[in-house]
Amino acid sequence: MVKPQSLTADTLIDRYCNFLMVEKGLSKKTLEAYSRDLVRYRYFLTQQKIGSFTEKDTPFILKYLIHLRKSGLAARSRARHLVAIRGFYRFLVQEKILHHDPARLVDLPKTRLTLPDVLSREEIECLLQAPDTDKPLGVRDAAMLELLYAAGLRVSELVHIKLQDINIEAGFVRIFGKGAKERIVPIGMQAKEKIENYLETVRPKQLKQGSSPFVFVARADRPMTRQGFWKLLRRYASKAGLNKKITPHSLRHSFASHLLEGGADLRAVQVMLGHVDISTTQIYTHVTRDHLKQLHRKFHPRG
């Protein structure tokens, strides 16, 4: 066994982050968050005159969580910190740097369940009809909105879709999500028609003599940016008369909730969303449960 004292705290954190990148395939953004949380925890231990990670760290982990709460950190953020710490100590045991995991019995802070923003089917319809398809950019925007909802994409996934990743004839799109994990998602007839119309009639004129590997392009042959799409979405939400805060993720949430309301299997929705853990997908069942309660009250004789 390697004695923890023989390796610096920063070296161990770097080794863990490298493990997450190579073995788990986590995204750069996620890795940065883990590293940041662990460096903050290591700094706290230093203030407690603790120079290395040991099997006896349980009380310091608890003390750290209390420190985070007193610092005003929300329960959800404290839970994220503990997830990083738990994973790190598991790694130290796995690498035989520690015999026992001091974080194993530390519970996650209670978090309030925040239900995602979900648009009704009628609101989705108004939003998807908002672009003026008599104008070239309206054709492009209509295709983007339709695809975002049809496939439940993240905005970063939408703007980075390449021509080689979309199969109009078969009706599916290949997505590289968080951690470069690949998934195949069907897109439906209306999305197929709008994308095909855009590719045939508008995109060639946008590119003129240029070229781009990306499906959706803006000016100077460049792909649409996340910020650019956010602006478009806000404009179309206003045009559709939707007086609520709408983000690209609202359409992803609506995609999942509408599928579950229609009777889709939770595992199938998990695959289409690209969630590694089904517990992430299960938040949508709370929305569906409310829908079922309404149906029960309306149609059951004892409702």
Residues 42, 203, 253, 275: which is the catalytic one? 275
Residues 80, 160, 194, 252: which is the catalytic one? 252
DSSP 223: B
Count of beta carbons in the 10 Å neighbourhood of residue 247: 14
| Catalytic residue flag (residue 252) | yes
Q: Report residue 167 as tokens.
A: 């199969």
Cα dihedral across residues 268, 272, 275, 276: positive or negative: positive
Residues 63, 69, 86, 178: which is the catalytic one? 178
d(Cα 269, Cα 260) in Å, to the nearest integer?
8
Count of beta carbons in the 10 Å neighbourhood of residue 50: 15
Residues 252 and 152: beta-carbon distance below 8 Å: yes
| Catalytic residue flag (residue 284) | yes
Tokens 């042959």 appear where? 221
DSSP 173: E
| Catalytic residue flag (residue 183) | no
Name the nearest CA neighbour of 85 among 43, 42, 148. Answer: 42
What amino acid is encoded at 176 in this protein? F
What amino acid is encoded at 15 in this protein? R
| Catalytic residue flag (residue 249) | yes
Distances (CA, A) of 21 to 36, 89, 148, 276: 15, 17, 28, 15
d(Cα 69, Cα 79) in Å, to the nearest integer?
11
Residues 154, 160, 194, 258: which is the catalytic one? 154
| Catalytic residue flag (residue 178) | yes
Tell how far CA 79 is from the center of its chain: 17
| Catalytic residue flag (residue 291) | no
Query: What amino acid positions are annotated as catalytic residues?
Result: 154, 178, 249, 252, 275, 284
